[in-house]
Structure 1
Amino acid sequence: MDTAPFFAEIAGGPDGGHAAWVRADDGVRLRIGAWPVADARGTIILFPGRTEFIEKYGRAAADLGARGYGMATIDWRGQGLSDRLTGDAMTGDVGDFQDYQKDVAALMRAAGALDLPRPWHLLAHSMGGAIGLRAAADGLPVASAAFSAPMWGIRMRAALRPLAWSLGWGSQRVGLGHKFAPSTGPKSYMLSEPFESNDLTRDAEMHTHMVAQLTDHPELSLGGPSLRWLFGALQECRRLHALPSPDLPCLTIVGTDERIVDVPRIKARIARWPGARLEWLNGARHEPMMDRPETRQAVWDMLERFWTAHS
């Protein structure tokens, strides 16, 4: 693995963080990152959401490191410093949603090559939750699976859902799948949405920190999803809904003020996942790991107990 750029000054993570280039089986170049911990109790394999990047989880790595866990994560294809897939680098695009599983395979090969301490535990957020559920069903070598606001369905008004399906399907037929999905565009949500109306976090300091990351390194930013991404995501959520639940311990954490993913789909999945737990965080929005300090503390406390029980 060749060394990749890593912006420690914006990450806020513990010492020792680093990044490397790896290749997926189809040749796409991906950036993976790791924060090792001496005498670690295990390694958290973090699957980030759409638009996210390695450095965004530096503070999470610090929280995990304080509890004895190392962390490894990835810039999915089409975001962060991994290969962008269209002529417009701000379009969140993927050729086929299943291609993300090639990225999973590359990350797990890297985790093995780096000899990251076991047990490995999956922690997957938002879009990473969809990727993670598929990977877990396919035998991801982890001891447990934890999810934060997983994208097992996309929240939208009922009247818009048929339109989203028809636009996605039609764009594929006429070669316009790379165009932005309706109501989205090239602007980064984090850089364009004021704190007061954002759907991600209630913590003003954390919001300022995330804005500063992208201001300092705009090459990490990403705009709205493509029609192809939207159609692929809708298809994958439908397929995931029909999947049996993996034979893994599961903890899922959702804020009571969730506005982005489909909460009924989350409830339906947990109801048919034997032994799975669904924990609600009062008032939290889409990113519990980026919320107020007391919320983040509650998240890490729950996760630490969960991982300790299933190591």
Structure 2
Amino acid sequence: MTEAAPFYADLADGPEGGHALWADTPDRRRIRIGLWPGGTRGTVLLLPGRTEYIEKYGRTARDFQARGYAMLAIDWRGQGLAQRALADRLVGHVDDFDEYQRDFDTLIAVAQAQGFPRPYFLLGHSMGGCIGLRALMRGAPVNAAVFSAPMWGISMAAWMRPVAHVVSALARPFGQAHRFAPGTNDQTYIATATFQGNVLTTDPEMWHYMHHQIRTQPDLALGGPSLGWLRAALRECGALAALPSPRLPCITALGSAEKVVDAAPIHLRMAAWPGGRLDHYLGAEHEVPMEQPVHRNRFLQESVRLFDANR
């Protein structure tokens, strides 16, 4: 079932016709889907990262629509305006990453029900890249995929990795899975960090765009991940690493200043991806689609070139 959901068009700064729908997942969670119709060449299914929300990609929808592509984006369960798992809505939590696959399946169902044009193309950023890779391995009905700094591994100090595995694994049996992971709290990074030294973008205008959204609509904000989320993420990254890449045309974008996700698994996977390519963005931080215009434009051009070639 779908019905109209709140959508902050002024904050999204996307193309005309943008709106949002509530959608119920197979396990009865309410998520929010952002829709930007208007393209005729196909539909981009945008999978955001952890803490993100559909309005953040309004300008991306504008860029794709100008090149003939419609776009859908999703508020994953537990973030944006989607249903949150815990009473403390600032804790990012799931018990298992398989839950996100139910959200993805719902996104596909909405695209089909709303008559969005085929073919479909996947664009996954950060955590959305992790979810998107699993969806591709499950046979997602897309013709090609683009990833931006996909979370195929979590960046942490070498000494911290075994600690994280042990602590997160013990959290659930001891009833602590809902607690914030070590080193995180209820603060939203974009709202509390300063532009100087941030790990997301080197572009001050895009930083302001994201910062203004959270300051204006704090209900979109999310704090750190729970111990349960950390356990689920580590397990999913490990499971994906053991599986071969799908035979699907793919480009992955990675900034040379990446500090949020572990770059090593990205290099390993893309070196062995049939028909895949790793594009390096010199000086870019984690969010290549929100980077300096030179990086942003290149990312868009390469994505559209891939989509056009696989229509």
Paired AA for residue 94 in structure 2: V
Shift of 1:262: 1.0
Shift of 1:174: 0.1
CA distance in 2, matches of 1:183, 1:262: 17
1:191-210 to structure 2, matched below 5 A, reads 191-210=191-210
Q: Secondary structure at the match of 1:99?
A: helix
Task: Tell me the equivalent position of 2:138.
Answer: 138
Task: Tell me the equivalent position of 1:151.
Answer: 151
Question: What is the total number of aligned residue pairs between the two structures?
Answer: 310
Task: Tell me the equivalent position of 2:119.
Answer: 119
CA distance in 2, matches of 1:253, 1:196: 23
CA distance in 1, matches of 2:298, 2:274: 24
CA distance in 1, matches of 2:289, 2:204: 14
Task: Tell me the equivalent position of 2:267.
Answer: 267
Task: Tell me the equivalent position of 2:11.
Answer: 10
1:153-232 to structure 2, matched below 5 A, reads 153-232=153-232
8 Å contact kept, 2:257–2:286: yes
2:235 matches 1:257: no
Shift of 1:95: 2.1
Task: Tell me the equivalent position of 1:107.
Answer: 107
CA distance in 2, matches of 1:304, 1:26: 34
Cα distance per residue 1:274-309 (max 9 Å; x no partner): 121000011101000001111111111111111111
Q: Secondary structure at the match of 2:159?
A: helix
2:296 matches 1:296: yes
2:72 matches 1:72: yes
Shift of 1:207: 0.6
Cα distance per residue 1:221-249 (max 9 Å; x no partner): 00000000011000000000011211211
CA distance in 1, matches of 2:96, 2:307: 32
CA distance in 2, matches of 1:210, 1:130: 22
TM-score by length of 1: 0.99
Task: Tell me the equivalent position of 1:43.
Answer: 43
Cα distance per residue 1:179-220 (max 9 Å; x no partner): 000110001000011110210000111111111101110000
Shift of 1:176: 0.3
Q: Secondary structure at the match of 1:273?
A: coil
CA distance in 2, matches of 1:296, 1:18: 24
Task: Tell me the equivalent position of 1:246.
Answer: 246
Task: Tell me the equivalent position of 1:237.
Answer: 237
8 Å contact kept, 2:247–2:275: no
CA distance in 1, matches of 2:247, 2:137: 8
TM-score by length of 2: 0.99
Q: Secondary structure at the match of 2:20?
A: strand
Shift of 1:28: 0.3
Paired AA for residue 220 in structure 2: L
Identity in percent: 50
Task: Tell me the equivalent position of 2:278.
Answer: 278
Task: Tell me the equivalent position of 1:309.
Answer: 309
Q: Mark the runs of 5 or more structure 1 residues left unpaired by the alignment.
A: none
Paired AA for residue 11 in structure 1: A
Q: Secondary structure at the match of 1:173?
A: coil
CA distance in 2, matches of 1:296, 1:120: 22
Shift of 1:33: 0.8
Q: Secondary structure at the match of 2:44?
A: strand
8 Å contact kept, 2:246–2:274: no
CA distance in 2, matches of 1:4, 1:74: 12
1:54-73 to structure 2, matched below 5 A, reads 54-73=54-73
Task: Tell me the equivalent position of 1:84.
Answer: 84
Q: Secondary structure at the match of 1:112?
A: helix
Q: Give the RMSD, CA atoms, in angstroms.
A: 0.7
Q: Mark the runs of 5 or more structure 2 residues left unpaired by the alignment.
A: none
Task: Tell me the equivalent position of 1:97.
Answer: 97
Which stretches of structure 1, 4 residues or longer, exceed 4 Å deviation after superposition? none
CA distance in 1, matches of 2:225, 2:119: 34
Q: Secondary structure at the match of 1:136?
A: helix
